[in-house]
């Protein structure tokens, strides 16, 4: 590694960037003082190892390759990144491929792809070693930012309030954490909003991968596991009775009845976490919402059709 670092300065830059990020991650520590980020560190170590291996693989492949072949490999890699962004980056398939609490790290393939691309084009970039190092460092920086950004920062300050069996959200961005505490308590696992905001990596909201992490950590060693699913009303019927955490909201640019934005207060482009319990006998849907006064309400089937974004998370017995 040291020989490569002298020959290819970008390697040492990548190593230093990881070291710097690693030292900065105590910001992820919880207020209670015990470590909850071991899985994140191990995920970063695995991702760093894979990225380094792919960088050297790219170097090896391009060693005797023609410019035309290198260009083809680079374009194929860029296309692969595009396919990942469009079809896999936010897909629940990742939870089936990588059913680990550090999915939010291991499922982020930008850095390995950027590392392979950087290694592939290294010898074909114009200029000397320093100039090429600048280009590849920028490329690796983009990949590194994509990995670090979802987990960087601190959770909001939350309180422990419950109504009608629903943990209420006490900050503007902790709806997912409150829903996580609710479904855990429903199966006998004690949890609260603050704890789940920390475990779910709630920052400016909560990614579903972060919600998955928090639930995986809390159910470790129990009779329960976490299922992420995609599907419409039929998928919910197969999973009732709940509670099931649903992603709900109105996509930006969607055309819906103005009552949802003007009377009900939904903001297009702003997603929310709510709880599905069951389809009621009166034709409505029993729901829980950590952001309303009573915690429980009924939606019409039309409400569910408009607001449900076809993704949910629930606890299942092992």
313, 213 in Cβ contact below 8 A?
no
Helix %, strand %, coil % of the chain (to 5): 55, 15, 35
Q: What are phi and psi of 303, to 5 degrees?
A: -60, -45
Domains of the chain: 2-151 (no CATH), 162-317 (3.90.70.10)
In this prediction, residue 144 carries a pLDDT of 94
Q: Write out the two tokens for 184.
A: 């855990």
Q: Write out the two tokens for 112.
A: 């390995």
Section 74-85 average pLDDT:
95
In this prediction, residue 1 carries a pLDDT of 40
Section 58-67 average pLDDT:
89
pTM value surpassing 0.75: yes
The pLDDT of residue 113 is above 70? yes
Alpha carbon dihedral 246, 251, 256, 260, in 10-degree steps, equals 60
Q: Confidence class of residue 123 from pLDDT cuts 50, 70 and 90?
A: confident
Express each pLDDT in 149-168 by its tens digit. Answer: 999 999 999 999 999 999 99
Strand partners, 308: 248
Section 52-58 average pLDDT:
95
Higher pLDDT, 186 or 36: 186
Among 62-66, 95-99, 165-169, the minimum mean pLDDT is found in 62-66
In this prediction, residue 130 carries a pLDDT of 87
Express each pLDDT in 260-272 by its tens digit. Answer: 999 999 999 999 9
Higher pLDDT, 29 or 161: 161
Q: Side by side, which strands form the sheet with 272-279?
A: 224-230, 308-317, 244-248, 272-279, 285-288, 296-299
Task: Determine whether 137 is exposed, middle or buried from the number of CB atoms within 10 Å of its CB (0-12, 13-18, 19+).
Answer: middle
Number of H helices, E strands in the chain: 14, 8
The pLDDT of residue 27 is above 70? no
In this prediction, residue 36 carries a pLDDT of 64
In this prediction, residue 110 carries a pLDDT of 95
121, 71 in Cβ contact below 8 A?
no
Q: Write out the two tokens for 41.
A: 């560190």
Among 55-69, 95-109, 179-193, 261-275, the minimum mean pLDDT is found in 55-69
Alpha helices in the chain (DSSP H): 2-7, 9-24, 38-63, 67-83, 93-97, 103-106, 110-121, 129-148, 175-186, 193-199, 208-219, 233-237, 259-262, 301-307
Region of 201 please: left (phi>0), alpha (psi -120 to 50) or beta.
left
In this prediction, residue 125 carries a pLDDT of 84
Q: Confidence class of residue 86 from pLDDT cuts 50, 70 and 90?
A: very high
**Residues of the chain above pLDDT 90, percent:** 81
In this prediction, residue 289 carries a pLDDT of 96
Section 286-313 average pLDDT:
96
Section 5-24 average pLDDT:
45
**Residues of the chain above pLDDT 70, percent:** 89
Higher pLDDT, 252 or 34: 252
Higher pLDDT, 47 or 127: 47
| Mean pLDDT for the chain overall | 89
Express each pLDDT in 221-235 by its tens digit. Answer: 999 999 999 999 999
Q: What is the largest CA-CA distance in the chain?
A: 73
In this prediction, residue 51 carries a pLDDT of 96
In this prediction, residue 8 carries a pLDDT of 45
Section 240-264 average pLDDT:
94
């Amino acid at each position: 590694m040291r020989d490569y670092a002298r020959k290819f300065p970008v390697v040492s830059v990548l190593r230093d960037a990881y070291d710097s990020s690693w030292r900065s991650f105590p910001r992820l520590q919880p207020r209670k003082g015990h470590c909850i980020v071991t899985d994140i560190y191990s995920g970063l170590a695995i991702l760093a190892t894979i990225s380094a291996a792919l960088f050297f693989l790219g170097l090896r492949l391009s060693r005797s390759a023609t410019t035309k072949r290198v260009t083809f490999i680079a374009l194929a890699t860029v296309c692969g990144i595009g396919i990942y962004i469009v079809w896999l980056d936010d897909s629940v398939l990742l939870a089936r491929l990588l059913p680990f609490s550090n999915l939010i790290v291991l499922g982020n393939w930008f850095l390995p792809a950027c590392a392979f691309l950087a290694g592939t084009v290294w010898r074909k970039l114009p200029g000397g070693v320093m100039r090429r190092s600048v280009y590849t460092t920028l490329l690796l920086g983009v990949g590194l930012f994509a990995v670090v950004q979802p987990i960087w920062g601190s959770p909001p300050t939350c309180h422990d309030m419950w109504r009608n069996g629903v943990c209420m959200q006490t900050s503007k961005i902790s709806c997912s954490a409150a829903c996580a505490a609710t479904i855990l308590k429903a199966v006998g696992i004690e949890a609260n909003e603050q704890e789940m905001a920390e475990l779910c990596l709630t920052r400016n909201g909560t990614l579903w991968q972060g919600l998955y992490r928090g639930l995986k950590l809390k159910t470790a060693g129990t009779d329960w596991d976490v299922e992420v699913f995609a599907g419409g009303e039929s998928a919910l019927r197969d999973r009732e009775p709940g509670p099931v955490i649903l992603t709900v909201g109105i996509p930006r640019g969607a055309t819906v009845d103005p009552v949802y934005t003007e009377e009900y207060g939904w903001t297009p482009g702003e997603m929310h976490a709510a709880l599905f319990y069951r389809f009621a006998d009166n034709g409505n849907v029993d729901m829980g919402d950590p952001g309303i006064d009573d915690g429980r309400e009924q939606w019409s089937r039309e409400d569910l059709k408009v607001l449900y974004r076809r993704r949910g998370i629930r606890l299942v017995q092992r």
